[in-house]
Structure 1
Amino acid sequence: MTRPSLTVGQRIIARVKICVLALLSGSAALANPTCKDHWICVDEIRDGDRIELRARNLQEYPLTYTLRVNTRSYAVNGSRTVTRTLNAGGSETAMELVPRDGNTRRSYDLSLEWTVGDQHANHDDYYRYAFPYERGRSYRILQGYGSRFSHRGREEFAIDFDMPVGTPVHAARAGTVARVVKKHDKGCWESGCGNFANYIVILHDDGTTGEYYHLQRNGAFVEVGDAVDRGQLIGLSGNTGHTTMPHLHFAVYRATSWGNTQSIPVIFESADGIVNKPRR
């Protein structure tokens, strides 16, 4: 009944460890880039003994990345850990490495993680979301804001709706589809089960994301890049991933550091009025 665990690589996170033995170079050169999931690359650009690490966003959606470097015989201009948002198709210098001494056996080790969205997203807290199902229907809430079972910390403002497998899922807000996974057909509660979740991630115009989890196999009716309207049918609920029963997990998220996201409170519009704090 939770969104996939960040510790098992689900939730649009990339991790990469690189060790490079840096030998003296006499001229500027671009080494092979380190890329992950066709989303982000870090280029190593050499100019003599100096190294520029340059991040590139390969997609048409903003992403937030964290880059950390550990070095031997290199100094770092600025912080050894940076968290930044790259606009669609953007690139930037993440950090520069400068030799500290005459040792020719220099090396560095870097870690990179990322997620879709803008860490500085300015959410309109007065925006009224639609419930993520067909207008005129209603579904019991299994977990609401702050539920003890699993909606704490980063998932504090997520909602689990009690939906039978195959229930139509509708977009709670307009946006652009940034991620879709629909190939899995397994739900379980053990460690690593989050890897089997089917989901849709919709990027909103303010840089937040609306995310719909545990869809049934082939239960996504949209593709990456599609423009989606509020209330549009986008998929079918299911029971895939880290789950104990069929349901839909929905939340709005803002990107944070190290590939993580933080759910944020939103308000919903229903036939009975405004719902500020969805609870069981």
Structure 2
Amino acid sequence: MLRWQNLFLLLLVSTTATAKTLYKYKDDQGRWYFTDKPPVTQHKVETRLLKPAPKQRVRLEKTGSPSNLAFYLINQYPGPIEVAIDWEQPTNLVSIPELPKRFVIEPGKSDTLFSISAIGQTTSSQTFTLQYQYVVGRPLPHYSRQTAYWPPLAPGSHFRVTQAFNGEFSHTDPQNRYAVDIMMPIGTPIYAARDGVVLEVENDFFSSGTQQAYANKANSIRILHDDGSMAIYAHLALEKALVTPGLRVQAGELIGYSGNTGFSSGPHLHFAVQINQGMALTSVPFEFLDANQHAFEPQPGSWLEGINPKP
């Protein structure tokens, strides 16, 4: 009989999480009550934010008989992902097609990706381990920039760029090398910089700091564009996202509010354009548009003006 095990290796900067607010209060008899729903009471209520619990969005599933297993994937993102699958191959087992192999998976349930079966007649049990990792977005090995972006700001507003491309503080890795940090107060409206489909929303993180432990704890919105690139809007406010995965948004549409969550030294918006390149999210250079629709590369210390893309 074949036995199988999954080893989950996720390459995303952040994972979906669901935070809970715990409400605590006493009744007239002095008894404590705890609930995750806002209580209807005249007594003093204490609240506490609980740590978000990760949610699995991609699952490898199996079907078939013990001697001939078939495997497929469930992709709960509203856009494509790339998955790399490998295994520790024991004797007397074969995979068709041969592993390791990469697959591009559209939203929903995939067709059968591969099967594993015994070679010849065997009565002994076999154990094998499957390993898979995934990256959001379709692989774009030959991506070229096709459009400029509207500043993700309210029309008429002005905010300063404090860190731009190749910034020495935190823009030194491939995911963030071509990013901009825009200083603004918590609660500043954030607008879509380009048309696209909301791919991912992180909405439940509530803390920040400059320790590495905060690197994966920023609220964010990821929007997939028609050319396969993705804009990431990060360090957003707790529970203030106005969009949900699968929703199509237009440039200039209000999507959420700025905050100070995750790896951050102060309130700001982190904006970058990323692509899937070689099973890794990689930022790419981009340009903003000014009031005259002239494209320009953002520079540290410069000011961005919010513009209505549909005057």
TM-score above 0.5? yes
**Aligned match of 1:11:** 14
Structure 1 residue runs of 4 or more that deviate by more than 6 Å after TM superposition: 6-9
**Partners in 1 of 2:205 and 2:262 — Cα distance?**
8
Q: Give the letter aligned to residue 125 of structure 1.
A: R
1:42 aligned to 2:60?
A: yes
C-alpha separation in 2, matches of 1:166 and 1:41: 35
1:249–1:37: structure 2 CA closer, same or farther, 3 Å change rule?
A: same
Name the stretch that deviates more: 201-210 or 245-254.
201-210
- Give the conservation status (yes or no) of the 8 Å contact 1:220–1:234: yes
Which amino acid in 2 is paired with 1:150?
A: S
What one-letter code is carried by the residue in structure 2 that aligns with 1:192?
A
Cα distance change of structure 1 residues 149 and 272 upon mapping to structure 2, 3 Å threshold: farther
Match 2:118 to one of 78, 86, 99:
99
* RMSD of aligned residue pairs (Cα, Å): 2.9
2: distance between equivalents of 1:90 and 1:206?
23
**Residues 9, 262 of structure 1: alpha-carbon distance in 2 compared, 3 angstrom cutoff:** closer
In structure 2, stretches of 5+ residues that fail to align are: 1-8, 18-53, 301-311
For residue 251 of structure 1, the aligned residue among 272, 279, 283 is 272
Alignment equivalent of 1:110, drawn from 118, 130, 150? 130
- The secondary structure found in structure 2 opposite 1:192 is helix
1:99-150 deviation line (CA, Å, top 9, x unaligned): 2464622111122222332113875613121011123333222221122222
Q: Does 1:53 align with 2:53?
A: no
Matched, 1:182 2:200: no
Q: Partners of 1:273 and 1:230 in 2: how far apart?
A: 14
What are the superposed Cα offsets for residues 52-110 of structure 1, whole Å, 9 maximum, x if unpaired? Answer: 22223244322222222212222333443223221222513333323246462211112
C-alpha spacing 1:157/1:79, structure 2 compared with 1 (3 Å): farther
Aligned mates of 1:250, 1:210 — CA distance in 2: 7
How far apart, CA to CA, are the structure 1 residues paired with 2:160 and 2:10?
Answer: 29
- Give me the whole-angstrom Cα distance separating, in 2, the residues matched to 1:276 and 1:200: 24
1:155 aligns with 2:163: no
* Contact 2:165-2:171 at 8 Å conserved across structures: yes
Q: Are positions 1:136 and 2:139 aligned together?
A: no
**1:122·1:206 contact (CA, 8 Å) conserved in 2?**
no
Aligned residue for 1:177, secondary structure, equals strand
Q: CA deviation at 1:10?
A: 4.0
Name the CA shift for 1:7/1:246 in 2 (closer, same or farther; >3 Å).
farther
Gap regions ≥5 residues in structure 1: 1-5, 15-35
Between 183-192 and 47-56, report the one with greater CA deviation.
47-56
Please give the alpha-carbon distance, in whole angstroms, between the structure 2 residues aligned to 1:90 and 1:122: 28
Given the superposition, is the C-alpha separation of residues 190 and 38 from structure 1 closer, same or farther in structure 2, using an over 3 Å criterion? Answer: closer
Q: How many residues align?
A: 253
Partner of 1:17: none
Offset at residue 8 of structure 1 (A): 9.2
Q: Contact conserved, 1:177 with 1:226, CA < 8 A, in 2?
A: yes
Q: Identify the residue that residue 83 of structure 2 maps to in structure 1.
A: 65
